[in-house]
A = this chain, B = another copy of it.
Amino acid sequence: MSRPSSSADLSLSAIKTACSNCNLRELCLPFGLSDQEVARVDELINVRKRVKRTEHLYRAGSEFEYIYAIRSGFFKTYVLLEDGRDQVTGFQMAGELLGLDGISTESHSCNAVALEDSEVCFIPFARLEQVSREVKTLQHHFHQVMSREIVRDHGVMLLLGTMRAEERLATFLLNLSQRFTARGFSPTEFNLRMTREEIGSYLGLKLETVSRALSRFQDERLISVQQKHIRILNIPGLKSLLDNRK
């Protein structure tokens, strides 16, 4: 509906939403807001939609109109080079925002695709700006979210520029663990939503290298891997792969 673009037709039934009774409140846009202020955010989120696995939420070049908040599910964002090479720029889970890349040129610069069936809140950006002119805490928090994305990107640049394969993968696993923890899931046991190839694309490695590194971690009893199921057996051990180097 809202964007009859090249992206797959996202959904079906728009779901009535409310941040007020969303259990992701503390991870998402309304973080740190008073009840009254959350009510202001509520009024600007009027649509929630389902996005099925493999469907795109937006594509590079498509018009920017919304910021998206992941209600449930899992996404990846990626950029493409003309020759077909691509780079996964991030994996996003519940409570995280998508689409910030679109603000700069009014059109998206990357692609966002669901890695599992998901639900997404559509936040009309013009209205978000309007409300954040009125609600100081919302304004500040939104700036923090954007800044956090910049800081995260710098971390990825550090990873891509200086780390070896095993360090990259350990960093990746520890990051997932920490984010699952923040969402109330086990820090040590989870299912990967992405393929080895997608992990590799994110980490600047080939899928074979990812697979070999996972196997080596398993040999060293740091983790156990069975396809997409990961169990972290030795968090300090994984961490020690990072700080000892050089």
Residues of A within 8 A of B (CB): 79, 81-87, 89, 100-105, 109-110, 129, 132-134, 136, 139-140, 143-151, 153-158, 160-162, 201-204, 243-246
Select which of B84, B89, B104 is within 8 A of A148 by beta carbon: B104
Q: Cβ of A102: which chain B residues have Cβ within 8 Å of it?
A: 147
Contact between B153 and A82, CB atoms less than 8 A apart: no
Contact between A154 and B79, CB atoms less than 8 A apart: yes
Cβ-closest 9 pairs across A and B: A103-B147, A153-B153, A160-B160, A161-B204, A104-B147, A104-B148, A87-B158, A87-B161, A146-B146
Contact of A85 with B246 at beta-carbon distance under 8 Å, contacts A79-B158, A154-B153 already known: yes
Q: Cβ of A202: which chain B residues have Cβ within 8 Å of it?
A: 161
CA distance A129 to B139 in the complex (A): 8
Contact between A87 and B162, CB atoms less than 8 A apart: yes
21 pairs from A and B in contact (CB 8 Å cutoff): A79-B154, A79-B155, A83-B246, A85-B158, A86-B162, A87-B154, A87-B162, A100-B146, A103-B144, A103-B146, A104-B145, A105-B151, A110-B154, A129-B139, A132-B133, A133-B133, A133-B139, A150-B150, A153-B153, A156-B157, A161-B204
CA distance A16 to B10 in the complex (A): 54
- Chain B nearest CB, measured from A89 CB (Å): 5
Report the nearest B residue to A136, measured CB to CB: B133
Contact of A81 with B157 at beta-carbon distance under 8 Å, contacts A100-B147, A133-B133 already known: no
Q: Cβ of A144: which chain B residues have Cβ within 8 Å of it?
A: 103-105
Report the nearest B residue to A204, measured CB to CB: B161
Contact of A81 with B158 at beta-carbon distance under 8 Å, contacts A133-B133, A133-B136, A140-B129 already known: yes
Q: Cβ of A104: which chain B residues have Cβ within 8 Å of it?
A: 144-145, 147-148, 150-151
CA distance A145 to B143 in the complex (A): 11
Contact between B89 and A201, CB atoms less than 8 A apart: no
